[in-house]
Chains A and B, each alone.
Chain A
Amino acid sequence: MQLDVDCVPTERDFIDAVWASVTKLFGEYGASLTSLALISYDGEQKFAVVRANLQAVDNVRAALATVTSLGGKEAAVHVLAVSGTIKALHKNLGP
């Protein structure tokens, strides 16, 4: 996913914002069903890869759409691609 923000948010800022959105929207029980985990993060490139349960992909995407700030700055998170494996994901995104 691509982060749209004017600063360089830390990994902690990003994951906190994602968890906050998921728990606010679906509650702690709903969040536990997502199996959300951060796979890779590049603050400079504003690029992140997260893993989620297949059944919860739509919910995670909805929650990501509700992220409006990162590290105290106005922000948006746009999903670039969704894939079943990391290898296929990188193939989809290109070099």
Chain B
Amino acid sequence: MQKAAELGYNQVATQLALETRPEEISRIKTACTDMSLDFVSRVDLRPRSQDELVGLLRKMRRRFEVICVLCETKEVARQAAKDHRVDLLNFPLLDYRRRFFDRAEAELASGGSAGFEVDVKPLLVWEGPARVRFLSCLRREVAVALEFGLPLVVSSGVSEPMLLRKPREVAMLSSLFGLTGDAALDAVSHNAVALVRRNRQKLGIGFVAPGIRVIKQGADC
């Protein structure tokens, strides 16, 4: 967190365990506020079936600000894409046959509210043919996401502080897979901030539906 603050990040989301209690989240938030960081609670779900995903979403949606689904099967990927409770779709990094982000997936996701998440960590730690294949795969997926107007979120995906890079450097890395200029900066900053803002509104008191919220209630209304 300290490193993220030094590198110029204002908002940071880290993956929390499913069992994380609200008090623990509040404690992390307070610690981050002291470093001028806005902490976003995030959970990464790895369901093995559609039913498991639906069950997890029912339990987790109101506990975390951002929900990312790591889609390891096609069934899960399709369900996650159309479910409005999913914020981000992520796919396995190592197995290219299980990256189910294709035109059908993007079309489903464009009707929902899920964005497509790209981790740049492999670009830093891999080299040679593995990085070449990863870049080529990402370039194809990003082109599909842009075609269907899906929000793209580029994340560091790292667990060691030394692999953290400045936001602009992450945006420059995004240019390697077809995101250039403003689109790259939006993917690093604007899209993620918009997603968090939307979810915080939804989780806030008085939210009924997008654009509708309770501002007063009681006998005098």
The answer, yes or no, to whether A10 is at the interface (CB within 8 Å) is: no
Closest to A75 in B: B162
Q: Is the CB of A79 within 8 A of B123?
A: no
Q: Is the CB of A66 within 8 A of B173?
A: yes
Chain B interface SS verdict (over half):
helix
Q: Is the CB of A79 within 8 A of B175?
A: no
The answer, yes or no, to whether B7 is at the interface (CB within 8 Å) is: yes
Report the minimal beta-carbon distance from B10 to chain A, rounded to whole angstroms: 17
Q: Find residues 38-95 in chain A having any chain B CB closer than 8 Å to their own CB.
A: 58-59, 61-62, 64-66, 68, 74-76, 78-79
Q: Is the CB of A4 within 8 A of B162?
A: yes
Q: Is the CB of A65 within 8 A of B170?
A: yes
Q: Is the CB of A68 within 8 A of B172?
A: no
Q: Is the CB of A76 within 8 A of B165?
A: yes
- With A68-B124, A68-B125, A78-B7 known as contacts, the answer to whether A62 contacts B166 (CB < 8 A) is no
The answer, yes or no, to whether B35 is at the interface (CB within 8 Å) is: no
Task: Give the interface size bracket for A toward B.
Answer: 10 to 19
Q: Is the CB of B169 within 8 A of A78?
A: yes
The answer, yes or no, to whether B164 is at the interface (CB within 8 Å) is: yes
Partner of A61, one of B127, B128, B163, B169: B169
Q: Is the CB of B175 within 8 A of A62?
A: yes
Report the minimal beta-carbon distance from A78 to chain B, rounded to whole angstroms: 6
Interface size on B, residues (CB 8 A): 19
Task: Give the residues in chain A near B162, CB-CB below 8 Å.
Answer: 4, 68, 74-76
Q: Find residues 109-156 in chain B having any chain A CB closer than 8 Å to their own CB.
A: 123-125, 127-128
Closest to B170 in A: A65
Q: Is the CB of A78 within 8 A of B166?
A: yes
Task: Give the residues in chain A near B170, CB-CB below 8 Å.
Answer: 65
Q: In whole angstroms, what is the CA distance A39 to B155 when docked? A: 32
Q: Is the CB of B163 within 8 A of A65?
A: no
Q: Is the CB of B124 within 8 A of A79?
A: no
Task: Give the residues in chain B near A79, CB-CB below 8 Å.
Answer: 166, 168-169
Q: In whole angstroms, what is the CA distance A68 to B164 when docked? A: 10
List residues of A whose CB falls within 8 A of some B CB.
4, 24-25, 58-59, 61-62, 64-66, 68, 74-76, 78-79
Other than the known A62-B176, A74-B162, A76-B165, what 8 A-B pairs have Cβ atoms closer than 8 Å? Answer: A58-B172, A58-B180, A59-B175, A61-B168, A62-B173, A65-B169, A66-B173, A68-B125
- 17 of the cross-chain contacts (CB-CB < 8 Å) are A24-B127, A58-B175, A59-B175, A65-B124, A65-B165, A65-B172, A66-B173, A68-B124, A68-B125, A68-B163, A75-B162, A76-B165, A78-B7, A78-B165, A78-B166, A79-B168, A79-B169
A-B residue pairs, 3 tightest by C-beta:
A65-B169, A61-B172, A62-B172
